[in-house]
């Protein structure tokens, strides 16, 4: 039996190595064939130095066919980078080469799953001065707005004007996230003490800015739930997303996205510094019954009254949830009880609504 286990383990190890080598050969041949095909059609990589930064510089501003040869060469040196496979897949989709795109997204899903676990690189632009919330606009609107400005965020010569900077100019800064639950500390390099002493006001420490990041989705028509704690203005590819200035950890906003790369734009408002933590999930079920943290009527397992409110979240991007009935499926101990809805509930897409429930003891109903 011991010998059999050793042989089985040896066989499994050999099989895994064979499968891995076979996969690598398929990937290598795919990249080589695609590069030859692109160059045959007249598309050659014009970059002198190929790395993630240089490829980003051109893929945000050039056509897909111009970028594909460079993306292939970059991927050839980083075959186990799932995000780069999504980059190439998105380029193929934009070039109407769906078969090649399918292969790329398949490899990306194998390496990273349906969605990027978290955004590894954030680009920050700020700080800009700030006024009243109702009068604030995009501080880079004069340059074409954040959607245009962010296309050049990897370029060194991109400079903007801000009264906070010692020289009057600011540039894009990079913040790298290492773990999904990491809180990014955005700390502008400003001499706040000097400003406070000069103006005799703490109000000068308030500022605004933008932070931009990309994530990849490797399957079509996915229900994606997004949460960015503490920020009121958020966009995904231009779609406005409900913000959360109160740091309510359990609340997400749902939207439907297709496979490819997607960009999150978060407008920051801070005082001296600012925190950023965004979470991404693919929701298989488009709704969720949340655990209520506000139940003052429950004390040590006892309820004083007959009413309770349970928050329900609708993560679907377009469909309403209609709750017309509720049923108790399990009860661990105590008198038999039954639940009833006080009224029918309709929950809009993206909405979180408390469902009001009344419960009664079965014995009382019989009487």
Average pLDDT across each block of 10 residues of the chain; the chain has 367 residues. List them in order.
Answer: 47 46 68 91 91 96 95 95 97 96 96 94 95 72 95 93 92 94 93 91 92 97 91 93 79 91 95 94 88 65 78 90 88 80 91 88 61
Query: What does the pLDDT read at residue 132?
Result: 65
Q: Which residues face 314 on adjacent strands?
A: 287
The pLDDT value given to residue 108:
96
pTM confidence score: 0.85
CA distance 70 to 73: 5
Task: Label residues 22-32 b or e (16+ Cβ within 10 Å = b).
Answer: eeeeebeebbe
CATH 1.25.40, the chain: domain bounds: 2-111
Report pLDDT for 364: 53
CA-atom Rg of the chain in angstroms: 26
The pLDDT, as a whole number, for residue 308 is 83
pLDDT of residue 365: 52
Rounded to 10 deg, the angle between the 64-76 and 2-40 helix axes is 150
Distances (CA, A) of 194 to 161, 189, 204, 207: 19, 13, 10, 16
- CATH code: domain 2-111 is 1.25.40
Give the per-residue pLDDT at 81.
96
pLDDT for the residue numbered 347: 95
Q: What angle do CA 240, 243, 245 make, to 5 degrees?
A: 155
The residues, any chain, with a CB within 8 Å of residue 97's CB and separated by 6 or more, are none
Cα 352 to chain centroid, rounded: 20
Closest CA to 175 of 203, 199, 197, 153: 153
């Amino acid at each position: 039996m011991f010998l059999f286990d050793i042989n089985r383990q040896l066989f499994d190890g050999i099989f895994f190595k064979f499968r891995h080598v076979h996969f690598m050969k398929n990937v290598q041949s795919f990249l080589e064939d695609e590069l030859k095909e692109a160059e045959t059609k007249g598309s050659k990589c014009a970059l002198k130095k190929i790395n993630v930064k240089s490829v980003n510089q051109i893929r945000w501003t050039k056509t897909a066919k111009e970028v594909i040869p460079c993306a292939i060469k970059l991927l050839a040196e980083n075959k186990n980078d799932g995000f780069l496979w999504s980059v190439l897949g998105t380029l193929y989709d934009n070039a109407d080469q769906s078969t090649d795109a399918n292969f790329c997204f398949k490899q990306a899903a194998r390496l990273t799953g349906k969605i990027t676990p978290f955004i590894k690189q954030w680009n920050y632009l700020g700080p800009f001065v700030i006024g009243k919330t109702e009068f604030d606009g995009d501080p880079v609107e004069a340059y074409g707005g954040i959607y245009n400005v962010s296309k050049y965020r990897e370029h060194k010569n991109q400079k903007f004007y801000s009264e906070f900077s010692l020289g009057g100019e600011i540039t894009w800064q990079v913040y790298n996230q290492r773990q999904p639950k990491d809180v990014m500390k955005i700390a502008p390099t400003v001499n706040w003490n000097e400003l406070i002493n000069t103006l005799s006001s703490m109000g000068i420490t308030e500022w605004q800015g933008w932070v931009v990041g990309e994530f990849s989705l490797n399957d079509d028509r996915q229900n994606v739930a997004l949460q960015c704690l503490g920020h009121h203005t958020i966009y995904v590819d231009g779609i406005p997303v409900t913000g959360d200035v109160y740091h309510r950890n359990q609340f997400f906003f749902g939207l439907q996205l297709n496979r490819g790369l997607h960009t999150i734009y978060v407008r920051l408002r801070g005082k001296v510094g600012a925190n950023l933590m965004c979470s991404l999930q693919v929701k298989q079920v488009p709704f969720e019954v949340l655990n209520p943290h506000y139940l003052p009527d429950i004390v040590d397992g006892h309820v004083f009254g007959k009413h309770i409110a349970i928050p329900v979240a609708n993560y679907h991007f377009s469909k309403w949830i209609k709750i017309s009935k509720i049923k108790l499926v399990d009860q661990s101990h105590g008198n038999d009880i039954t639940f009833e809805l006080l009224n029918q509930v309709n929950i809009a897409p993206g909405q979180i609504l408390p469902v009001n429930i009344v419960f009664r003891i079965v014995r009382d109903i019989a009487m």
